[in-house]
Amino acid sequence: MPDRPEVTAVEIARLAGVGRAAVSNWRRRHPDFPQPAGGTDTSPTFRLDEVERWLRGQGKIAELPLLERVRQQLETLRDPDGHPAAPLLAGGALLLQLHRDPAGWQALREEPDTRLATALPRLLQHTAQTALGPDGAALLALPRLAGATYLDLVRMLERLAAEHGPADAYEQLLARHGEAAARPSAATPPEAAALLADLADLAGPADQSDPDGADRPAGTLGTVLDPACGLGALLLAAGPGADRRGQDLDPVHTALALLRLALHTPPDAPAPLALDLRPGDSLRADAHPGLAADAVLCQPPYNERDWGHDELQYDSRWPGGLVPPRGESELAWVLHCLAHTRPGGLAALLLPPTVASRRAGRRIRAELVRSGALRAVVALPAGTAPPYGVPLHLWLLRGPRPGDDFRRVLLLDAAAAHPAAEGGRDRVDWPALHRTVLDTWQAFDTAARSGAPLPADRPGVHRAVPALDLLDDETDLSPARHLPAAAPDGGAAALHHLQSRLAELLAGPADPVSALPAVADTPSVAGPSPVTVGELARAGALEVHSSGQGVLPGPAGDGPSGLPVLTDQDLLAGTAPTATTAVTAAADGPLTTRPGDVLVPALGGGTARVVQTGGPLDGVALGPRLHLLRPDPAQLDPDFLAGVLRATGSARRASSYASTTTRLDVRRVELPRVPPERQRVLGAAFRRIAEFEAALDRAAALGRSLAQGLTDGLATGGLTEQQHGAGPV
């Protein structure tokens, strides 16, 4: 391993806030750029201290962030043949010390390194054993001797914990490790974890109508298990008041999860903490035999062929001897979770949608429905949890109780209820989605447990389906298959309004003679040579800013204080920003747009939009893959610039091509040399053309909505066709 931290070109780019190509250019153009210290010819590494010194000398960074220093120091401690996350265990142990017993560290911190080398490991081991018990401390595998590199890390972590708190500092380190990993772990995002925890109602009072749960004292959260806990996201969402149990195949991830949960437990919580996480294969070697948990929360691994099918033929977890088929590993996890759920308790699992319909699993699904264990299948929009491109299903099961003859299954299509949520992990409207799923489930579950009337079905969204209706040759549990299409919102009156609105929108584009500028052929006269955007930037006529990776966006609607973030997809679609960031528009914050700016996507071409005063693009931060051009209006008209950028020839001549993408080098775009007065005339014409195109886009979108609403209404019988002249549809 290197004796000093080293960084790759990608990490240098992240430090300086530029693209990787910029780092390659620096290496070619600057002979004093640091020489490679390791790695390979195709992926060299550089000494961090030399890179930091060079970047500071070039004015590209003021100081390397403390978090990045800590991460690089952790990388220095990593054994090339060991687990890449192993150094986080020793770092987490120090943060646990600062969280649980800061006085113990204060008594040692001024000691010389020769004493710290032996005294600090003993202190960390004692604190870990007190908080986590002997088995938990052994799982951390802490070193018995602290070397100079580790002591440097300890002092950095002390500063990081002072700035952010030990728990938040550890969260940042885990997040940064996930970003840098060659194969990032598919961790359940906190929003999805919170949804599963709320569905289990772990914070609610003991259910006195449930004889198997009534002995739990009110105010306690009971026992929660995650048999595939990973880094502990679901157990973390369960809250520190629960007795949390877990298991994971990766021992290092199990230990990281244990530290993570301990750091999020109040420092004055009695020791040992109510945490029992163990490594191992949950299906083949269950670490919690006989446990009947109040709630089991799980996002199991998907599509596993070698899950133990041959060894577990006669396992007691399989109902009626029905062994899950070899290709149905997810159903094996469902049955494992159900076996660990106490009668009346809840099991909640995130599963691929194919589990609800694959023919090989129909007998297992039928048994879950027939027994009354399966209570709900919820279709979630894509982007809620890994893999983010797949619209996952959420299965909710109750541990069967004697005498419980409730036999209905709630089928909820939350993706249909929130169509705007589709389109990626950054576009999920989590507050609305969370509320829809939780409210619908609670109303259904309360009726199922109390015998009260079931909530009314909502066409196209949810329905309580009798078990007999599902027990056919396929037992397909996909919600969309069993939900009738919803009638158009607002009925015929709403569609009539859409018709009127569409007629208004079409009135302008229907008369292109008045909407568009009049044109005539121009005589072929050789004019002055064109000028590139790069030349104009060097002359001071405009500024060019490229966002690179941009600011880190989150879903729109996270809070009123969030700064809107414009993505390249928003720009191409002509919509307002669909994401926000927690960063505010401070003087040292991200670059934000202002009136007169011209925005261009880095990938593709033919799109350029001018920021208008008070418009949806005014005052927003730039997301990834965007260019911002800020012209001096005295020298360059923004509408003229945007019009030239939209021209077919401009994009073609300034673009480079890969197998699947086209990248625009905006500095190579050529503009005709015309005086400002002529620019303003052309700019006004370009603006009229852009407004005409936008009106066509709005009319097309509204027309599609109207056509779909009419089709759905007539197909479901919610609308009746009338003869022309007899009134609205």
- What pLDDT, on a 0 to 100 scale, did the predictor assign at position 723? 59
Per-residue pLDDT of 306-323, as tens digits, reads 999 999 999 999 988 899
- What pLDDT, on a 0 to 100 scale, did the predictor assign at position 558? 41
- What pLDDT, on a 0 to 100 scale, did the predictor assign at position 389? 83
Closest residue by Cα to residue 546 from 25, 33, 55, 6: 25
- What pLDDT, on a 0 to 100 scale, did the predictor assign at position 63? 63
Confidence of residue 258 (pLDDT cuts 50, 70, 90): very high
Per-residue pLDDT of 539-553, as tens digits, reads 899 999 887 766 655
- What pLDDT, on a 0 to 100 scale, did the predictor assign at position 605? 67
- What pLDDT, on a 0 to 100 scale, did the predictor assign at position 55? 85
Confidence of residue 394 (pLDDT cuts 50, 70, 90): very high
As a whole number, the mean pLDDT across the chain is: 84
Ordered by where they begin, the domains of the chain are 6-180 (no CATH), 221-228+282-482 (3.40.50.150), 529-672 (3.90.220.20)
From 507-516, 524-533, 565-574, 631-640, the region with the lowest mean pLDDT: 507-516
Confidence of residue 562 (pLDDT cuts 50, 70, 90): low
Tokens read off for 135:
């088995």
- What pLDDT, on a 0 to 100 scale, did the predictor assign at position 320? 83
Average pLDDT over residues 256-264: 96
Please report how many Cα atoms fall inside a 13 Å half-sphere around the Cα of residue 684, on the Cβ side.
7
Higher pLDDT, 556 or 400: 400
pLDDT beyond 90 at 219: no
Contact 99, 260 (CB under 8 A): no
- What pLDDT, on a 0 to 100 scale, did the predictor assign at position 294? 95
- What pLDDT, on a 0 to 100 scale, did the predictor assign at position 655? 60
pLDDT beyond 60 at 592: yes
Three-class DSSP category at 580 = strand
Q: Who's near 676: CB < 8 A, 6+ residues apart?
A: 634, 635, 636, 637
Contact 89, 259 (CB under 8 A): yes
- What pLDDT, on a 0 to 100 scale, did the predictor assign at position 500? 75
* Residue 544: exposure state from Cβ atoms within 10 A (0-12, 13-18, ≥19): middle
- What pLDDT, on a 0 to 100 scale, did the predictor assign at position 563? 81
- Which helix (DSSP H) or strand (DSSP E) does residue 378 occupy? strand 374-379
232 vs 190: CA distance, rounded Å = 10
Stated pTM of the model: 0.69
Confidence of residue 438 (pLDDT cuts 50, 70, 90): very high
38 vs 36: CA distance, rounded Å = 6
Per-residue pLDDT of 268-296, as tens digits, reads 999 999 999 999 999 999 999 999 999 99
428 vs 620: CA distance, rounded Å = 20
Pairing of strands 626-631, 531-532: unpaired
Three-class DSSP category at 498 = helix
Per-residue pLDDT of 454-478, as tens digits, reads 999 888 889 999 999 999 889 999 9
- What pLDDT, on a 0 to 100 scale, did the predictor assign at position 84? 87
Tokens read off for 382:
């894509």
Q: Who's near 111: CB < 8 A, 6+ residues apart?
A: 119
Place of tokens 């005063």: 613
